[in-house]
Chains A and B, each alone.
Chain A
Amino acid sequence: LAKTTQPISMDSYEGQEVNITCSHNNIATNDYITWYQQFPSQGPRFIIQGYKTKVTNEVASLFIPADRKSSTLSLPRVSLSDTAVYYCLVGDRSYNKLIFGAGTRLAVHP
C-alpha cells in the first residue's frame, strides 16, 4: 500500500477555506485516494474519493494533479463543527486493508 504523509495539525478560523495536502509518492496505477473525517469519540466518516483531476461533493473538493503524487482536500468556509481529524488513505478499490495513519488534526477557531 502506498505510504501517505500529511501535516499533523492545522489551525483555521470560521469562514476560511482550508486545504489539507497529502503526499503519496508511491501511488500505484490502480490506487484511489480517499479521505475520512473523525470527530472526537466517534467513528470515521467517509468524505470523498477520487482518482485524478478534481472531485466535488456537498462536503468537500478533492484536487489531484496529473502525476497523482499528492492530493489536496479542500473544505470551503469551515465552521467550528469542522474541527476533526482528517485521514488520507490510498489503495485500490478493494483496499485490502483500510489503513489509517495519524491524520491531520484540524482546529477551527471562532
Chain B
Amino acid sequence: ETGVTQTPRHLVMGMTNKKSLKCEQHLGHNAMYWYKQSAKKPLELMFVYSLEERVENNSVPSRFSPECPNSSHLFLHLHTLQPEDSALYLCASSQDLTLQYEQYFGPGTRLTVT
C-alpha cells in the first residue's frame, strides 16, 4: 500500500467508447504524474501536474485528456482509443517537483482496447 490508489484496476473498452481512469493520493503530495507502460517497453511519462497545474505534456495524443481538480485527485479521460493504447497506466505522486526522484506509484490500471 503506497498511499496512491487507482480505479478501475482493469478496463476493457472498444475504440468508440469514452472512459476515465481515476487516481487518488492520500499522502498530501503536490505533484502527480501519469505514466504508460506497454508490454516490453520502459515506462513513458505522459503528464505532470503540480498544484493542479499541468507542467508537462510529453507529446501525448489528444485522445488522452488529463484532469486534476485538486492536488489529491488526477483523472485520465480516454476517447476513441486505438488497440496500441492497450497498456498498464500508472499514476504517481511526489512531495513536489523538486523531489521527483522519490515518486509513489499506484497499482495501475490494465487497459485493453478492443
A residues lining the B interface (CB < 8 Å): 32, 34, 41-46, 49, 89, 91, 93-103
Contact B92 A43 (CB under 8 A): yes
Q: Bits for B42-86, please: 1 = Cβ < 8 Å to A, else 0.
A: 110100000000001000000000000000000000000000000
**Of residues A44, A89, A101, which shows the largest number of chain B Cβ atoms within 10 Å of its Cβ?**
A44
A100 to B105, CA, bound (A): 13
Residue in B4, B42, B98, B108 whose CB lies within 8 Å of A100: B42
Contact B42 A91 (CB under 8 A): no
**Of residues B43, B45, B97, which shows the largest number of chain A Cβ atoms within 10 Å of its Cβ?**
B43
Chain B binding site: helix, strand, loop or mixed by DSSP?
mixed
Q: Which residues of A contact B32 (CB under 8 A)?
A: none
What total of A-B pairs shows CB separation below 8 Å?
Answer: 59
Contact A97 B45 (CB under 8 A): yes
A19 to B56, CA, bound (A): 35
A102 to B39, CA, bound (A): 11
Least CB distance, A1 to chain B, in whole angstroms: 12
Least CB distance, B94 to chain A, in whole angstroms: 9
Say yes or no: A43-B107 contact (C-beta < 8 A), given A100-B42, A101-B42, A102-B42.
Answer: yes
